[in-house]
């Protein structure tokens, strides 16, 4: 009986070490999303443009007919300027990118886009963050790949790098285009 008193803590420590060690082998950018292969949650958001000649917002219904990227960003986001040139490249290659400015003032979003350029087909404002909650957004930037039927096929957490685009996202977008 006394022997188990000494062995039990050693076994508990070994089990804990294995459990924590397994966690260290996982990529923190790969977080499972409950939305994968499910329809994009319904939403309708206003645009960030206040002037009469500004662009309108959009709704989840816009994500049918062809595959699209839905990028969640903000003017206060530290990593968004790093991702922005890649989004411009994606847009220039003919892929539709829609943006949601998350918990951002529309004036700040407009100013940011005026400074960095606007790769978006449309930009909507989610000032209260309600749509982002429905999407399961944990921070910015995050990007969802939505197929022609309005289903989420992939979620990218963090900025999209050129490597992410070329190796994972673009091949998926091309496959989704062929299926549409």
Q: What's the DSSP call for residue 126?
A: E
| pLDDT score for 115 | 95
Average confidence (pLDDT) per 10 residues, the chain, 180 residues: 72 75 65 81 89 68 95 97 97 97 95 95 94 94 97 96 97 95
Q: How far apart (Å, rounded) are the C-alpha atoms in residues 180 and 158?
A: 27
Decide if 123 contacts 100 (C-beta within 8 A): yes
Q: In 3D, which of 125, 144, 129 has the Cα closest to residue 47?
A: 125
Domain coordinates in residue numbering, the chain: 29-179
Q: How far apart (Å, rounded) are the C-alpha atoms in residues 149 and 38?
A: 10
**pLDDT tens across 16-54, in order?**
777 777 767 766 555 556 889 999 999 999 999 854 444
Contacts of 174 (CB under 8 A, 6+ apart): none
Partner residues linked to 125 by β-bridges? 101
CA dist list (Å): 99 to 1, 117, 133: 64, 13, 15
SS3 59: strand
Cα 80 to chain centroid distance, Å, stands at 12
CA dist list (Å): 119 to 60, 67, 86, 164: 19, 16, 9, 18
Q: Where are the beta strands (DSSP E) in 27-103?
A: 44-45, 58-59, 68-73, 97-102
| pLDDT score for 24 | 72
SS3 135: helix
| pLDDT score for 53 | 41
Q: How far apart (Å, rounded) are the C-alpha atoms in residues 25 and 173?
A: 28
| pLDDT score for 51 | 43
* CATH architecture, domain 29-179: 3-Layer(aba) Sandwich (3.40)
| pLDDT score for 32 | 59
Write down the pTM of the prediction.
0.81
Torsion of CA 158, 161, 166, 170, to 10 degrees: 40
């Amino acid at each position: 009986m006394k022997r188990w008193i000494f062995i039990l803590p050693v076994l508990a420590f070994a089990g804990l070490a294995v459990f924590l060690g397994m966690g260290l082998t996982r990529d923190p950018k790969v977080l499972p999303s409950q939305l994968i292969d499910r329809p994009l949650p319904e939403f309708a958001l206003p645009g960030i443009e206040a002037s009469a000649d500004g662009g309108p917002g959009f709704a989840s219904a816009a994500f049918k007919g062809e595959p699209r990227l839905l990028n969640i960003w903000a003017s206060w986001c530290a990593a968004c300027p790093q991702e922005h040139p890649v989004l411009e490249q994606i847009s220039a290659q003919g892929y539709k990118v829609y943006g949601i400015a998350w918990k951002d003032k529309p004036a700040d979003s407009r100013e940011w886009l005026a400074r960095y350029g606007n790769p978006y087909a449309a930009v909507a404002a989610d000032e209260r963050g309600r749509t982002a909650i429905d999407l399961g957004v944990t921070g910015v930037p995050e990007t969802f790949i939505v197929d022609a039927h309005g289903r989420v096929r992939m979620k990218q957490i963090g900025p999209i790098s050129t490597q992410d685009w070329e190796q994972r996202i673009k091949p998926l977008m091309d496959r989704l285009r062929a299926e549409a």
